[in-house]
């Protein structure tokens, strides 16, 4: 009798250890991408099937047992990090509580709705078609005082944290709220002193963002464009031609491009374009707002080809420096072609 009791006790211990291992042991396998995604509209059966297909769990029976004990019934969509060595208990509790892994959206520069929407598609459950439909819908943007041309004004480059299953509205609303915070009364006042609204200042900054990377030139370029607007002159900004043509790889803007029909082409249209041509950095925005008062009307890239610009107040001076720059470019092209021919 004593032997039977000992045997049963050993069996109970073994079974208990086995059950404990299955529930609390490191039996969960991390997927290849480290994350498990539950799409909006998924049900319990879909989740279980996905866990099995991704080989995160080896069988459904034990998962169902733990899910039943923890009363896991309401499915919460999201992006969940499955760590190596996680237990079934930890996995089910994480899914039940909806402990998602946040998504960091880092924005540096976007030029078009399509480019922005593709990035959203890459980072979120929302696909690019849903995002671009939102940006092309005047009713969606009217709530923020924007339209399909000025949509980018809601975006100040930075890093923003979301949940993976955020909708286009939630994504855009958070960006717009940060933009509102950026445009303090002080910044609005500075824009007004230059005769600009915040949206106009942002649009001007977007052109300058594409013009140069040199911090010391940005404010002076802004002063040139502000002076041209005040005089009723066309901006004649090369980046707007690239935007109009949707050809951002152009290295030189030839005369044949200057008549490209588009409201964004500032060679054929006076004033600022209908909206931003990219999302400018906060630094460029502040360079525009703090731009100096000058009498500059013209600028051209330095013939040293060092990335800098030469600023002038008369057309005669401008032509002199423009000729030097063109000669430098022609020489550079000749050297490049000679090297290609010798290879």
* Average pLDDT of the chain, as a whole number: 91
- Are the C-beta atoms of residues 257 and 134 closer than 8 Å to each other? no
What average pLDDT does this structure show over 145-168? 97
pLDDT tens by residue, 196-207: 999 999 999 999
pLDDT at 24 over 90: no
Cα(163)–Cα(281) distance, integer angstroms = 24
Query: Where does the pLDDT of residue 7 fall: very low under 50, low under 70, confident under 90, or very high at 90 and above?
Result: low
Cβ burial, residue 269 (10 Å; 0-12/13-18/19+): middle
The sign of the dihedral angle between the CA atoms of 306, 283, 290, 251 is positive
Q: Which residue has the tokens 């930075």?
A: 158
pLDDT tens by residue, 63-92: 999 999 999 999 999 999 999 889 999 999
pLDDT tens by residue, 264-311: 999 999 999 999 999 999 999 999 999 999 999 999 888 888 888 999
For residue 2, the model assigns a pLDDT of: 67
pLDDT tens by residue, 214-224: 999 999 999 99
Cα(57)–Cα(94) distance, integer angstroms = 15
Query: Where does the pLDDT of residue 99 fall: very low under 50, low under 70, confident under 90, or very high at 90 and above?
Result: very high
Whether pTM > 0.75 for this model: the answer is yes
Cα(243)–Cα(113) distance, integer angstroms = 12
What average pLDDT does this structure show over 50-64? 91
What average pLDDT does this structure show over 222-228? 97
Query: Where does the pLDDT of residue 343 fall: very low under 50, low under 70, confident under 90, or very high at 90 and above?
Result: low
What average pLDDT does this structure show over 323-330? 88
pLDDT tens by residue, 113-130: 999 999 999 999 999 999
For residue 297, the model assigns a pLDDT of: 95
For residue 15, the model assigns a pLDDT of: 55
Cα(273)–Cα(242) distance, integer angstroms = 13
Cα(270)–Cα(229) distance, integer angstroms = 8
Query: Where does the pLDDT of residue 250 fall: very low under 50, low under 70, confident under 90, or very high at 90 and above?
Result: confident
């Amino acid at each position: 009798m004593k032997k039977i009791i000992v045997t049963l006790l050993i069996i109970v211990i073994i079974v208990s250890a086995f059950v404990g291992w299955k529930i609390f042991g490191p039996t969960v396998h991390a997927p290849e991408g480290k994350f498990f995604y539950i799409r909006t509209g998924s049900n319990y059966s879909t989740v279980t099937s996905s866990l099995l297909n991704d080989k995160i769990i080896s069988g459904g029976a034990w998962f169902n047992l733990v899910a039943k004990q923890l009363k896991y019934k309401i499915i919460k969509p999201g992006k969940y990090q499955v760590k190596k060595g996680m237990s079934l208990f930890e996995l089910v509790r994480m899914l039940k509580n909806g402990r998602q892994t946040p998504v960091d959206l880092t924005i540096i520069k976007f030029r078009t709705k399509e480019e922005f929407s593709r990035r959203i598609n890459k980072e979120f459950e929302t696909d690019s078609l849903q995002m671009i439909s939102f940006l092309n819908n005047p009713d969606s943007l009217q709530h923020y005082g924007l339209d399909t041309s000025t949509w980018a004004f809601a975006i100040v480059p930075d890093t923003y944290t979301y949940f993976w299953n955020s909708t286009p509205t939630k994504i855009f609303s958070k960006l717009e709220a940060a933009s509102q915070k950026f445009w303090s009364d002080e910044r609005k006042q500075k824009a007004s002193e230059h005769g600009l609204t915040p949206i106009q200042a942002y649009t001007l900054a977007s052109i300058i963002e594409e013009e140069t990377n040199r911090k010391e030139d940005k404010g002076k370029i802004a002063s040139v464009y502000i002076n041209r607007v005040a005089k009723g002159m066309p901006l004649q900004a090369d980046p707007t031609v690239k935007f109009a043509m949707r050809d951002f790889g152009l290295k030189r803007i030839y005369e044949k491009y200057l008549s490209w029909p588009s409201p964004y082409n500032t060679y054929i249209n006076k004033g600022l374009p209908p909206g931003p041509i990219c999302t400018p950095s906060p630094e460029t925005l502040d360079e525009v707002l703090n731009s100096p008062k000058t009498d500059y009307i013209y600028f051209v890239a330095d013939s040293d080809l060092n990335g800098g610009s030469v600023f002038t107040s008369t057309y005669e001076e401008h032509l002199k420096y423009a000729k030097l720059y063109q000669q430098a470019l022609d020489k550079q092209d000749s050297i490049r072609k000679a090297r290609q021919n010798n290879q």
